[in-house]
Every structure is written in C-alpha cells, then in structure tokens.
A and B are shown apart, each in its own frame.
Chain A
Amino acid sequence: MIAELHDEKLKDLEIKAVKIRKLIIEMLVEAGSGHSAGPLGMADIFTAFYFHILKHEPKNPNWEDRDRLVLSNGHICPVRYATMALSGYFPIEELKTLRKINSRLQGHPHRTALPGVETTSGPLGEGISQAIGMALAAKLNSKRHHIYCVASDGEQQEGNTWEAAMFAGKYKINNLTVIIDRNNIQIDGFTENVMPLEPLRAKYEAFNWEVLEVDGNNIRAFVDAVKIARAVFEKPTVIIAHTIPGLGVDFMENRFEWHGIPPNPEQAKKALEELRTLQGKIESEHQ
C-alpha cells in the first residue's frame, strides 16, 4: 500500500530530487565519464520510488519481502546510486568512487558489487525480462512484494523488449509495473529520427498491457500513476513517463548531445549553481 502524499512530504521529495541532481553532477565530474541527461531527467521518479513508493529497508538490502526496482537501462545508474546513498544504503562520500578502480559503483550497475542493485544491467532490452522472472518467482512463492522495472525509450528498439512484452501479456504478470523514461533522446539523436517508437502506447496496448502516461517530472502525478498501476489486476501495466532529459540544468535540457557525456569542471560549477538556485526556490516556496 502506497501512502498518501501530503503537501509537506511532496515539498520534501522535491527538495530531495534537487539534492540528487546535485549529487549526480558531482559524481559525474569526479568520474570524468558517464551519462548526464538521463539521470537528471529521472531524479524525480527515483526520488518518488526510494522515498515514497518502495517497500524497502536500506540497511537490510536483501530483505526477502522488499519491492524490487530493476533498472534496465543501466547507463543512468548515477541517479540510482545517488538516490540509494541519500536514502541510506551506503555513505554519500562513496559516490565519488563512481567508475573508479576498486569501487562498488561500477560504470554500469552490477548486482553482486553493490547490495540493493537488483540486476546487472547495461546491455539494453534485458530488464523487463529479468523483472518478469522475479515476478514469476514472487507468484510461485505467494509473495506480495511488487516488481518495478525502469526502462529507457531508446531500448524499446531492442527485440528482446517485445519478446518480454509478449510474454508478460500472455502470463498476465500483474505484479509487475514497467516505467518507460520517455525522454525522446538516445545516443545518436532523437528517438523519432534514429528509429521511431511512436505510437508507443498503441504498441503496448496491442501486446495486452495497460498503458498509463504521465509527466515523469511531476512527483505527485507519478505517484498517482503508480497507484493506478497497482490497482490493475488483469494485466501488466506500463507507465510511459514523459521526462525532460537534463532537467534542472538549463544547458543540458532536451539536448541529446548530453546523453552520454559528463560535465567538465566549469560546466559542473555552472550546473551546481543553477541547482542551488532551484533548491532555494523550492525551499522558499515551502516557507
């Protein structure tokens, strides 16, 4: 059962989302490589998951009855790492080890390296299938936890995605909710230029899924969508979450050039200034 999202909690989540964006920038500039736009765009959804939606225990990451959050597009892992650190899985200072030798924070997330990371991911199109496997196991064991899978829009181009969609439709995997980060960009450009995905909603509907669409940068709207998804009993649900890649940093927003690169120190400074201003704005609204 997902709790009611009161106004005060919502403001707290919005501030946390900005903090996570700042951590993402700090991690990436320190690492010197990695993806910027996707993680920034997904900060609101990850905040909503770790601080409101998920049933989890950061100090007991292998708790059997936890909800599973599978990250299919592993390259946006900075947002997952930052959110996990902020919610208490590991010390925030450890974020600085991203992509460095002897780190638990691999460039693409690795399940056995960091407790709480549910799958090893990076190669695209594989997360929904793995989430289905977890959902089947939960059903076989009569467990009530829920499986969430975050996937990118670009990886809808992988054939494996549609193999998984077909299977979930057939087996009516109703303890699974997939969230597609519909940010319209991928490495080589805009998705609709590289390989058009639209009509994406109709595709999933045709595969016997319930489809919801939501503003993925609106925490309340997203939480409400997840509640609706959880109430759908007869089929799997996908939430197409429209997000703005790079959100919070003006020069990165909606720019596919920022898909796969980190900021340099100067750009990071500018980005952090913008984010500090944003945080101040939300905080003053709160008071």
Chain B
Amino acid sequence: MLNPDLKLNPKLFDDDVEQKATREGYGDGLLEAGIKNPNVVALTADLSESTKANKFQEKFPDRFFECGVAEQNMAAIAAGLGVSGKIPFMSSYATFSPGKNWETIRTTIIYNQSNVKIAGHHAGIMTGPDGATHQATEDIAMTRSWPWIKVIVPCDSLEAQKATEKISNIDGPVYIRLTRDKTPVMTTIETPFEIGKIQIFWTSENPVVTILSTGYMTYYALVAAKELEQEGVKTAVANVASIKPLDEGTILSLAQDSRAFVTVEDHQVMGGLGGAIAECLAKTKPTPIEFIGLQDTFAESGKPKELLEKYGMGTKAIKDTVRKVIARKNQ
C-alpha cells in the first residue's frame, strides 16, 4: 500500500490522475524563490519558455539574462554572478547544459565553488519525438561524478517545485533534472521533501524486492508494484529524488529487509541511479541488483510511452525484472 505518512496523491492510481510536467514545477519554484530572495537571478540559452524560466522573466526582467544559444557563456556568467553574492539558476536542455558546457561548469562553477543552480531540462527519453539528440540520458552520470555537487531528480511537478525552492537556500552548486512531458502527480503539497532522503512510497508486507526509482519513473514503478502485489509478489518502492547526496542509511536498511533491488531510471544504466546504488551496496551489503534504463544505447523519436515499451523500461519490463532478481536471489 501507499505510505500514509507521506500524504501521497490519493488519486495516484486513477486513470484521471493529474498530469503536469516537472519543468512546470521548476518554473513555479523559481518564481517563488525569486519572490522570497532578491539575490535569485535566472539565465537561459534561448529556452526561456521551454524551461519555464519565463515565469521568473516576466516578474523580474532586470534579474533575468537571455544568453542566446551559448551554453558555455551562460555557465561562466552564472559562475561570476554566483561568486558575487547572487543565486543564479541557469536552465537549458540537459544535453546542452550540463552536456555541451560540461568543462565550463566543472571549472567555473564546481571547482570554483560558485553558488549556481543548474537546471537540465528535457531529460530522458520522455523528451520523445525530438529524438536522441535532445534526450539527455547521461546527465546524472556526468554531474554526480563532480565533487561537492548535489544532484536532484524530482518525481513530479510538486516535488520539482519544492526542490527548486529548497535549493535556492543551499549554498553551493546543485544540478536539478527535469522532464518535458506531463507526468502523473504522485505527491501532494503536504508530502515532505528533504534533500538526501529516500522516501518509501509503497510497500507490501515483508517485501522481497525493493524497487528504487528516480524521477517520473517512480510512477511506473508504483504501477508495477501494485500489479505485482495482486499477482502475489511483494515489493517496496523507494523514490530516490536525491542521487547525491545518497541516503546510504536507508539503502542499507532496505537491502537488509528485502535482499534484492531493481533500480529504475530514464537514463543510461551506467553511472546513473543504478550505478550510485550499486556502488553503495558493494561497499555495505552486496545484494542482487537489476537495472532498468537505457541499456548502453541511444533511443529515437517516438511517443514517450512507445519508447518506454520499446527500450524495456515500462511497467511490464519492471515486473519482469523484479521476477528475474527474485530468481537470482533464490539461487
């Protein structure tokens, strides 16, 4: 059942569950952060509307900087603002920022310890028809390997809004990963959000597998868990919004309870959520683990749901993988 303590959306499993893109939550959170703190400034690289920074832009035109199609420049300008007492939020598509400007961010923001918030939009195959050029599927890997940074992947628009507001109050670089399409709203205003904490969204009694998921994929993990329960397979679903810092204590306790993991993410299976969890398990409690995500390949144009099916990341694939890891565990 859904974890009652988290006050999740009671209509989560309904067909008419509210759908809203996490980028909308970013736009709302950025505007709110800007209202609360005059030092918050925003930059985009010709993607104001698309990254929903336009809400901030309309309210605070003097604190908004349109950089044109120049992601390296945007990053280094943000770095200069960030060491001068400002709190810059810079948004673009994740393939371009932190993709194209990776080294600029590494030097001028991360190593330089500038207080910049990097918003990577259009992450994952959820970007759909634009094709693999615009589907960022390596950004978690390339950001979490930076020292000191925090990497946040909100599961829905409300979590994105809370996370965006929260990171404006944290000193230091943060990467926040956002998606283009509307996805189910699983949380409510009352659902707590804390950086560095894993939340157990769902659990059957005495689960035999824990599904750890990040981003909107948590919805598919929950649907899979509910169906599996009806089929007699008991699981827990943990939403990992904070890839870094990683909640190692909760991971260890989940590994002790269920003794088998499936990770679920719209990202390459290498270096992302699955990689982070595997690193943690290997040094604490080695546990059978299977990985849902892109299996060392690029995706293609298509509707997001079609792509999830084709690339083995939908509900059916999650269920099959849960059964696979149970078999391994019982060997």
The chain A residues found within 8 Å of chain B, CB to CB, are 70, 110-112, 118-123, 125-127, 129-138, 140-141, 159-160, 163-164, 166-167, 170-171
Decide: A122 near B77, CB < 8 A? Known: A134-B84, A166-B68: no
* Chain B minimum-CB-distance residue to A134: B80
B104 near A160 with CB under 8 A, answer yes
A119 to chain B: closest CB distance in Å?
A: 6
Q: Does chain A have a CB within 8 A of B113?
A: yes
When the two chains form the complex, which single residue of A123, A129, A138, A140 contacts B77, counting CB atoms closer than 8 Å? A129
When the two chains form the complex, which single residue of B41, B104, B112 contacts A112, counting CB atoms closer than 8 Å? B112
B111 to chain A: closest CB distance in Å?
A: 5
Q: Does chain A have a CB within 8 A of B81?
A: yes
* 22 CB-based A-B contacts, threshold 8 Å: A70-B80, A110-B111, A111-B113, A112-B113, A118-B83, A120-B111, A120-B112, A123-B103, A129-B77, A130-B80, A132-B76, A132-B80, A133-B80, A134-B80, A134-B84, A135-B80, A136-B77, A163-B67, A163-B72, A164-B73, A167-B73, A171-B65
Residues of chain B contacted by A134 (CB below 8 angstroms):
80-81, 83-84
A15 to chain B: closest CB distance in Å?
A: 34
- Bound form: Cα–Cα A138–B83 in Å: 11
B293 to chain A: closest CB distance in Å?
A: 31
* Chain B minimum-CB-distance residue to A129: B76
Decide: A133 near B68, CB < 8 A? Known: A121-B107, A140-B62, A160-B76: no
The chain B residues found within 8 Å of chain A, CB to CB, are 41, 62-63, 65, 67-68, 70, 72-73, 75-86, 88, 103-104, 107-108, 111-113
* Chain A minimum-CB-distance residue to B116: A133
B207 to chain A: closest CB distance in Å?
A: 45
A133 near B84 with CB under 8 A, answer yes
- Bound form: Cα–Cα A210–B39 in Å: 31
* Chain B minimum-CB-distance residue to A143: B84
Most chain-A Cβ atoms within 10 A of its Cβ — which of B63, B75, B76, B80?
A: B80
Decide: A129 near B72, CB < 8 A? Known: A123-B107, A140-B62: yes
- Bound form: Cα–Cα A62–B286 in Å: 48
* Chain A minimum-CB-distance residue to B86: A137
- Bound form: Cα–Cα A164–B80 in Å: 12
A167 to chain B: closest CB distance in Å?
A: 6
Residues of chain A contacted by B79 (CB below 8 angstroms):
119, 126, 129-130, 133
B85 near A141 with CB under 8 A, answer yes
- Bound form: Cα–Cα A112–B114 in Å: 10
B73 near A160 with CB under 8 A, answer yes
A167 near B77 with CB under 8 A, answer yes
B111 near A133 with CB under 8 A, answer no
- Bound form: Cα–Cα A49–B77 in Å: 23
Residues of chain A contacted by B63 (CB below 8 angstroms):
140
- Bound form: Cα–Cα A127–B72 in Å: 11
Decide: A126 near B72, CB < 8 A? Known: A110-B111, A119-B112, A120-B111: yes
A136 near B113 with CB under 8 A, answer no
Decide: A166 near B107, CB < 8 A? Known: A112-B112, A133-B76: no
- Bound form: Cα–Cα A150–B315 in Å: 56
Most chain-B Cβ atoms within 10 A of its Cβ — which of A119, A138, A171?
A: A119
B81 near A136 with CB under 8 A, answer yes
A137 near B85 with CB under 8 A, answer yes
Apart from A129-B79, A164-B73, what 15 extra A-B contacts exist at CB < 8 Å? A110-B112, A119-B80, A119-B108, A120-B111, A123-B107, A126-B108, A129-B80, A129-B108, A137-B81, A140-B62, A160-B72, A160-B73, A160-B104, A164-B76, A171-B65
A89 to chain B: closest CB distance in Å?
A: 18
- Bound form: Cα–Cα A167–B127 in Å: 29
Residues of chain A contacted by B85 (CB below 8 angstroms):
137, 141
B83 near A111 with CB under 8 A, answer yes
Residues of chain A contacted by B107 (CB below 8 angstroms):
120-123, 126
A140 near B108 with CB under 8 A, answer no
- Bound form: Cα–Cα A170–B41 in Å: 18
B86 near A130 with CB under 8 A, answer no
A163 to chain B: closest CB distance in Å?
A: 3
Closest 8 CB pairs of A and B: A133-B80, A129-B76, A137-B84, A163-B73, A163-B70, A130-B80, A120-B112, A133-B81
Decide: A136 near B72, CB < 8 A? Known: A120-B108, A130-B108: no
